[in-house]
Amino acid sequence: MTGSVDGRASRTLAARLAPFVPTRLVAAAARLVYPRFEPELARLADLCPPGCGTAVDVGGWYGPWTRRLAPRARRVVTVEPVPHLARLLSSAAPGNVRVVTAAASDHRGTARLWLPADDAGDRGVSSLVRRDIHARALEVPCLTLDSLGLRDVGFIKIDVDGNEPAVLRGARDLLARDRPALFIELESRIQPVAPVVEHLAEQGYTGWVLPGSSWVPLASFPLEEHQARMAYVVAQGLLRRVLPPRGPRYVNSVLFLPDGRRPGEGRVRDDGPHAGQTPTRPVHPDRLPAGPAAPHGRPQS
């Protein structure tokens, strides 16, 4: 979920104080400072095309993306599986926002949402993929983005702590039809980056990252090497990473654009909403890993 912080963040000042602060205040503070934590959020014009019909926020957390997408798109659909976070988002959402209380995946039904022992979902590290930081699970509804019946989708943000491949498999038809921009958190410490990048390349998507003030092609930026070198930054917690003096940035999100588009360019609308269109390259959904089916008693690394 957006706001992902390493399991060690439970020892940070923000994590220790959060239980004693009203949730709405925590949410407002998170939305306020989040563009400093994730500067791509301050560059929405580069990500979300002008005249966007539908924008999708997969992993809504406290809503930093949802709130900023609402003025840019006619409709925003936010998918958030943690029940109290979904209720919070619904209660404060602008009128063009629809909140879906479920986890996005590659099937419909129910699934186990894993959380750390001392967390109710507020730290943003819950996932359908169990890791060593997870100790307990909630049964939550799950669905595919294709099953939501969305139309004219121009932008999708995906931040689900390891379940990104399943979300993409569940959006195969949507991606082929609407060719939206995709903004995806990719963490090599959680899962290999290459399968997602290769899968989207086969569908005509090219990755871009923002390590400084300018976008650079993912192909020329060693993302996994960067993340390994900067891993110590993840342990610092949200406040340390947004308040001055600020240290170096840890890049963990990739903008994927289809069909030769570059950041800041709107999609070409010479063929309508791409209804019935196919990607410029063949779709091979089986290239994405099925995702680890974690035994109930063993954490995934």
Q: What is the DSSP string of 143-208?
A: E-GGGGT--SEEEEEE--TT-HHHHHHTTHHHHHHH--EEEEE--TTTS-SHHHHHHHHHTTEEEE
- Average pLDDT of the chain? 81
**52: containing domain:** 7-263
pLDDT: which is higher, 149 or 269: 149
- The CATH number of residue 118's host domain is 3.40.50.150
In a domain, 59, yes or no: yes
The model's pTM is 0.80
Residue listed under structure tokens 């819950």: 126
Token pair in block for residue 80: 């958030």
Helix (H, G, I), strand (E, B) or coil at 148: helix
In a domain, 285, yes or no: no
pLDDT of 37-56, one tens digit each? 678 888 899 998 778 999 99
Identify which of 75-84, 123-132, 243-252, 288-297 has the greatest average pLDDT. Answer: 75-84
Residue 109 has pLDDT above 90, yes or no: yes
Contacts of 245 (CB under 8 A, 6+ apart): none
Over range 126-131, report the average pLDDT: 92
pLDDT of 153-165, one tens digit each? 999 999 999 999 9
Q: What percent of the chain has pLDDT over 70?
A: 72
Q: What percent of the chain has pLDDT over 90?
A: 57
Whether the CB-CB separation of 140 and 167 falls below 8 Å is answered with: no
From CA 35, how far away is CA 42, in angstroms rounded?
Answer: 5
Q: Where is average pLDDT lowest: 79-83, 222-226, 282-286?
A: 282-286
Q: What is the number of domains present in the chain?
A: 1
From CA 287, how far away is CA 9, in angstroms rounded?
Answer: 34
Contacts of 24 (CB under 8 A, 6+ apart): 88, 92
In a domain, 235, yes or no: yes
